[in-house]
């Protein structure tokens, strides 16, 4: 395909520039292997055979997209840096008589060799780590381990196809860049310095305003749905503000330090401040990238680990009992003013079928929870909820749901002796953000007699992203009055909006549910599902719809989803870490070569080695630990923001999130310091040489 001359020349170039090309080879190999692992696990047939495997596979597919995006960004960034540092070399080729077409051909050989080498090594490493990744995921989701080894051909083909496409784009981008440069610029580009930047007040103010907006939003947002709807805008503002912070605000601060004679006219400070100020415009982008990556690593690992270790909160809230049956009437009651009830005949039919089936299996019910409730949806108001016929106009942030039940059911199941007047209610905000003294349901106004916390949780409200309220009214007549309000708004043809629902839930007589085997869970699932099937078969005139949830299957699926989230979070964080290490490494190399000549001149005019070392140490510390400090501030301020979003996943135990974030930050800080130490040695070596 290529002549021996170009092959030998390309290989020699790669070897000669190993200080630049080797990190690129290593980082590309690592991210390709991580991508292969994600694809291999997604298309692993053993995953689909797991209980809840479909949810795991869907979550992994989402992870493939995220990993693909960030791996491509990393490879484009690092390759552009490598080619930029070689622009002088391309200029020399032109001086020696090579045409741009010949340079392009040479780069083609290098790109093909790089693509084949990194993809092959990445696949090899991925195949080696595939079983380890599979076992790690199975461990997180408590699945059954299958022994053996298999090569996932689909994952191999997808990985080869995707990364050869990325390399093709990288090559075309490089060719476009080379075609636009002339010989003189090729010779001078890598040595082109930055003029001392001016302090741009507009950018300083804009950076402060954007970060201030993101911080203000994070600190003042009150509801989880509000946090979710504003998350993108706040994050985007902080990202842009971070770039402006390092580009403009750091220049502004350095200018202040330069004007402070007591600080500036010290040998260590003079060299470090003037050096950073001179090239801060280019430095700032790298620092901002490092800061944003550090923040993303902390948030990604912190949130996914919080969800994984706090998943029991969701299981408890979604499943008030181990077995939960729900019934809903799909026909009107015959009363034009109210919608349908679940007929008593259907309730009795269901109970007879259930008792017959579970008695044959020697299963006994305990902690029975049985009540009727009215689910309603509408517009959230200051102290209430209002129905609207045109639901297309309802924004998610303005929507709310309410579960209405009678005082009789509440007292019966919780051994209470509460009493209410006709205009009084017991109230609970599911996410504990609202504690009103009055609560309105459309035109009906109620006084809140008491805020209660022991109302049974329902799966449809626990999983609801909107605000959810529980309302206990005096009796069934009070519920029917609310249903009349619904019919007034929606009309009798929309009777389903006011239908009552009936829940029958219970635990089973197994002492320790954690010891239930997969076979027992399957047997229980089949048993409780068969009750619904037989109920629908034996129904005569009524049209009640029934469905069943069981905690065993539900907990397994939740564990699979959150365990997979955690696994994806680890993979994505590894991609971020590789990206950050490469950026820090190349940053040290770039600045080392830029500073080498300057420190050489200073040494010739009398600057001692001790002063040079102190200046270098001060400069590196200021540059490299500024992003870590800023990212820590970002994450700290974002804590209430992220906490509210996690509440959408029912993570109410904030201590889990705090511990996860703190542990993540400590581990990451140690790693960051280690990377700083290793990359700074490269910088010192360049300066010393």
pLDDT tens string 407-429:
888 888 777 888 888 888 888 88
340 pLDDT tier (thresholds 50, 70, 90): low
Q: 83 vs 165, which has greater pLDDT?
A: 165
- Sequence-separated (6 or more) residues with CB below 8 Å from residue 286: 583, 587
CA 258, 260, 266, 272 dihedral sign is: negative
Is the pLDDT at 190 greater than 60? The verdict is: no
Q: 159 vs 444, which has greater pLDDT?
A: 159
In tens, the pLDDT along 106-157 reads: 778 888 888 888 999 999 998 888 888 878 877 877 766 666 667 788 889 9
Q: Which of 217-221, 346-350, 381-385 has the highest mean pLDDT?
A: 346-350
Number of domains in the chain: 2
Would 373 be classed as within a structural domain?
Answer: yes
Domain boundary among 488, 509, 543: 543
Give the domain range for residue 416: 330-543
**Whole-number percent of the chain with pLDDT over 70:** 75
**How far is CA 401 from each of CA 363, 384, 494, 501, rounded to the nearest angstrom?**
35, 10, 17, 14
- Write the DSSP string, 76-119: HHHHHHHHHHTHHHHHHHHHTT--HHHHHHHHHHHHHHHHHHHH
What is the number of alpha carbons within 13 Å of residue 537 lying toward its C-beta?
A: 7
Give me the pLDDT at residue 511, please: 47
Would 528 be classed as within a structural domain?
Answer: yes
Give me the pLDDT at residue 162, please: 92
Is the pLDDT at 574 greater than 80? The verdict is: yes
Q: 47 vs 184, which has greater pLDDT?
A: 47
Give me the pLDDT at residue 431, please: 64
**Widest CA span in the chain:** 102
The residue with tokens 């077995």 is: 323
Question: ∠ at Cα 245 (588, 262), nearest 5°?
Answer: 75
Give me the pLDDT at residue 195, please: 54
482 pLDDT tier (thresholds 50, 70, 90): confident
User: What three-state secondary structure class fits 437?
Assistant: coil
Give me the pLDDT at residue 597, please: 66
Would 394 be classed as within a structural domain?
Answer: yes
Strand partners of residue 472: 405, 426
Q: Is the pTM of this model over 0.85?
A: no
Overall average pLDDT of the 430-448 stretch: 79
In tens, the pLDDT along 512-562 reads: 445 667 777 778 888 888 888 888 888 766 667 888 888 888 787 788 888
Q: What tokens were used for 429?
A: 């905000």
Q: What tokens were used for 31?
A: 């991210």
640 pLDDT tier (thresholds 50, 70, 90): confident
Question: ∠ at Cα 651 (221, 658), nearest 5°?
Answer: 75
CA 545, 551, 552, 553 dihedral sign is: positive
Domain boundary among 543, 561, 586: 543
587 pLDDT tier (thresholds 50, 70, 90): confident
Strand partners of residue 194: none
Burial label for 113, CB within 10 Å (0-12, 13-18, 19+), is middle
Q: Please give the backbone phi and psi of residue 435, each rounded to the nearest 5 degrees, phi first.
A: -135, 75
334 pLDDT tier (thresholds 50, 70, 90): very low
According to DSSP, the β-strands at 501-508 and 438-441 are unpaired
Q: 20 vs 449, which has greater pLDDT?
A: 449
Give me the pLDDT at residue 614, please: 67
Rounded Cα distance between 404 and 422, Å, is 14
User: DSSP strand E in 10-95: where?
Assistant: none
Rounded Cα distance between 231 and 225, Å, is 10
For the chain, the average pLDDT equals 76
1 pLDDT tier (thresholds 50, 70, 90): very low
Rounded Cα distance between 372 and 327, Å, is 9
Overall average pLDDT of the 303-326 stretch: 80
Give me the pLDDT at residue 600, please: 67
Q: 612 vs 199, which has greater pLDDT?
A: 612
Give me the pLDDT at residue 108, please: 80
Would 207 be classed as within a structural domain?
Answer: no
Q: 552 vs 335, which has greater pLDDT?
A: 552
Would 223 be classed as within a structural domain?
Answer: no
Give me the pLDDT at residue 286, please: 72
Overall average pLDDT of the 23-35 stretch: 87
Domain boundary among 543, 562, 584: 543
Give me the pLDDT at residue 444, please: 80
Stretch among 83-97, 180-194, 505-519, 592-606 having the lowest mean pLDDT:
180-194
Would 147 be classed as within a structural domain?
Answer: yes
Would 74 be classed as within a structural domain?
Answer: yes
Give me the pLDDT at residue 393, please: 45
Strand partners of residue 379: 386, 399
């Amino acid at each position: 395909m290529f002549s021996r001359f170009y092959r030998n020349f390309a290989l020699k170039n790669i070897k000669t520039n190993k200080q630049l090309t080797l990190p690129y080879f290593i980082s590309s190999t690592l991210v390709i292997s991580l991508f292969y692992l994600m694809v291999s696990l997604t298309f692993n047939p053993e995953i689909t055979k797991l209980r809840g495997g479909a949810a795991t596979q869907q979550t992994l597919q989402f992870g493939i997209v995220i990993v693909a995006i960030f791996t491509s960004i990393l490879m484009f960034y690092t390759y552009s840096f490598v080619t930029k540092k070689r622009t002088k070399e391309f200029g020399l080729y032109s001086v020696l008589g090579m045409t741009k077409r010949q340079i392009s051909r040479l780069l083609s050989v290098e790109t093909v060799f790089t693509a084949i080498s990194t993809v092959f090594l990445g696949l090899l490493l991925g195949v080696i780590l595939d079983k380890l990744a599979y076992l790690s995921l199975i461990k997180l989701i408590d699945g059954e381990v299958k022994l053996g080894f298999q090569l996932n051909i689909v994952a191999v083909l997808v990985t080869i196809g995707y990364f050869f496409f990325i390399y093709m784009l990288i090559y075309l981008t490089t060719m476009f860049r080379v075609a636009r440069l002339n010989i003189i610029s090729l010779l001078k580009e890598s040595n082109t310095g930055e003029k001392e930047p001016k302090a741009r007040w507009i950018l300083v103010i804009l950076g402060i305003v954007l970060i201030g907006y993101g911080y203000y939003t994070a600190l003042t947002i009150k509801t989880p749905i509000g946090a979710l709807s504003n998350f993108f805008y706040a994050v985007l503002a902080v990202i842009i503000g971070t770039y402006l912070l390092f580009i403009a605000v750091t220049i502004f601060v350095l200018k202040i330090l330069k004007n402070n004679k007591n600080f500036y006219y010290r040998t260590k400070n003079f060299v470090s401040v003037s050096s950073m100020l001179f090239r801060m415009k280019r430095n700032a982008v790298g620092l901002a990238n490092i800061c944003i990556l550090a923040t993303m690593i902390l948030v990604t690992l912190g949130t996914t680990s919080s969800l994984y270790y706090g998943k029991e909160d969701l299981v408890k809230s979604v499943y008030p009992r181990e077995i939960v049956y729900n019934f809903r009437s799909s026909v009107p009651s015959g009363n034009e003013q109210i919608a349908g009830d679940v007929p008593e005949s259907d309730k009795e039919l269901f109970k007879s079928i259930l008792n017959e089936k579970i008695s044959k299996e020697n299963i006994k019910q305990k902690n029975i929870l049985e009540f009727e409730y009215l689910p309603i949806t509408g517009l959230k108001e200051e102290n209430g909820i209002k129905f609207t016929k045109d639901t297309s106009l309802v924004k998610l942030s303005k929507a709310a749901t309410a579960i209405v039940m009678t005082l009789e059911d509440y007292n019966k199941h919780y051994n209470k002796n509460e009493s209410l007047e006709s205009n009084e209610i017991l109230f609970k905000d599911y996410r504990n953000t609202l504690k009103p003294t009055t609560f309105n349901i459309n035109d009906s106004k109620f006084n809140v007699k008491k805020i209660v916390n022991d109302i049974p949780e329902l799966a449809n409200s626990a999983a609801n992203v909107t605000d959810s309220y529980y309302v206990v009214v005096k009796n069934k007549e009070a519920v029917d009055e609310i249903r009349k309000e619904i019919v007034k708004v929606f009309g009798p043809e929309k009777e389903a909006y006011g239908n009552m629902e009936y829940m029958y839930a219970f635990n089973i007589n197994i002492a320790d549910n954690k010891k239930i085997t997969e076979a027992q869970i399957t047997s229980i699932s089949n048993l409780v599902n068969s009750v619904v099937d037989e109920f629908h078969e034996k129904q005569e005139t009524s049209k009640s719809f029934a469905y069943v949830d069981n905690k065993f299957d539900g907990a397994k699926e939740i564990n699979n989803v959150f365990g997979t989230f955690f696994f994806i979070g680890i993979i994505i964080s590894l991609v971020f870490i590789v990206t950050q290490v490469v950026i820090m490494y190349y940053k040290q190399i770039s600045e080392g070569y830029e500073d080498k000549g300057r420190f050489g001149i200073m040494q010739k005019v009398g600057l001692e080695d001790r002063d040079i070392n102190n200046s270098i140490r001060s400069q590196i510390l200021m540059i490299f630990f500024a992003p870590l400090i800023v990212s820590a501030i970002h994450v700290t301020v974002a804590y209430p923001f992220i906490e509210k979003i996690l509440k959408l996943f029912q993570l109410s135990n904030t201590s889990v999130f705090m511990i996860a974030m703190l542990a993540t930050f400590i581990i990451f800080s140690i790693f960051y310091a280690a990377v700083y130490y290793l990359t700074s040695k490269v910088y010192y070596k360049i300066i010393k040489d």
